Amino acid sequence: MTIFLASLGFGLVTASVLAIAAVGFTLQFGVTDVLNLAYGAVMIAGAFIAYVINQLGLSVWIGLVVAVAACSAGSVLLNAGVYAPFQRRGTSPITMVIVSLGMGLIIEFGVQAFAGGTGVSYRMSGGPTVSAGGLVLSTVQLAVIGLSVLVMAGTHVLLRYTRLGKAMRATAANKTLARNCGIRTARVITVTWAVTGALCGLAGVVFAMDAGSFGATATDLFLILILAAVFLGGPGQAYGAMLGAVVIGLATEISAAYLTPDYKYVISFLALLLMMGVRPTGLLGARA
């Protein structure tokens, strides 16, 4: 029982980090039609931006804010300078995936050239631990969970109750129809890159906080979990990504407690393959 409760605690933290990342990824894909495999590289770039700020003697939380802003701006520039020109030429979706993979490698190797091949960590303590019902979590882990809850609530408010959110949903559903209805889809797409880039940067920093030590390639395998959560919940479905993140986060950490930890990535894809066989559109996607 002790092992189970410990793995449950780790699972909640992993699910929280994964939810932030997966919601950003799926909104980006749903609205812009770009399956951005550079997402993990932007995440780790954000983590290192916060690390640089932290090394200057400032709080990692200040670094988090800077990383969020930098990744938001960087994602907008990435789209404007790379993805949008390819899309205007009518580039096929599979080619766009290859382009994004190439951009991910460029960003990752750029980070590696700057940071080197060794792992780094933030100058921060985990803080006192809090015990509840057998679960033991540090205050930093609780902060990560709290941030995730706030992001999920904010995403719900954005999509359901704001003009921007409704425009994003309309653009994701049918860009031509949305444009004919007077929605400035180009502006919506740009704002979407800014919002999802901010979520990507936030996810990168909280991922690094949870990992303790991280390097330039730390998010390579984590991107697998993001993809599993997104496609398990349903591509382009924000609420599906939240649900998928909880399922994948808990399943991988609980299984890692009883099996070899490396199997957590196998577990995530087994869940994904099972769902694609039973319901290809995901848990919350429309039935085919």
Residue 1 in any domain: the answer is no
Give the structural domain span for 102.
Answer: 17-216
**Model pLDDT, residue 288:** 46
Kindly give, in sequence order, each residue whose CB lies less than 8 Å from that of residue 255, ignoring residues fewer than 6 positions away: 263, 264, 267
Domain count, the chain: 1
Binning the chain into helix, strand and coil, the percentages to the nearest 5 are: 75, 5, 20
Residue 284 in any domain: the answer is no
Kindly give, in sequence order, each residue whose CB lies less than 8 Å from that of residue 210, ignoring residues fewer than 6 positions away: 13, 14, 17, 141, 144
Residue position matching structure tokens 């949305």: 178
Residue 31: name the closest of 164, 147, 149 by CA.
164
Q: Are 5 and 134 in contact (CB under 8 A)?
A: yes
Which pTM value belongs to this model? 0.92
Residue 129 in any domain: the answer is yes
Residue 4 in any domain: the answer is no
Residue 43: name the closest of 271, 226, 220, 200 by CA.
200
Residue 269 in any domain: the answer is no
Q: Are 39 and 167 in contact (CB under 8 A)?
A: no
Kindly give, in sequence order, each residue whose CB lies less than 8 Å from that of residue 142, ignoring residues fewer than 6 positions away: 130
Residue 141 in any domain: the answer is yes
Residue 274 in any domain: the answer is no
Residue 160 in any domain: the answer is yes
Per-residue pLDDT of the chain (288 residues; tens, 9 = 90+): 577 777 788 889 999 999 999 999 999 999 999 999 999 999 999 999 999 999 999 999 999 999 999 999 999 999 999 999 999 999 999 999 999 999 999 999 999 998 887 889 999 876 677 777 667 788 888 999 999 999 999 999 999 999 999 999 999 999 999 999 999 999 999 999 999 999 999 999 999 999 889 999 999 989 989 998 998 888 888 999 999 999 899 888 887 777 777 777 787 778 778 777 777 777 676 554
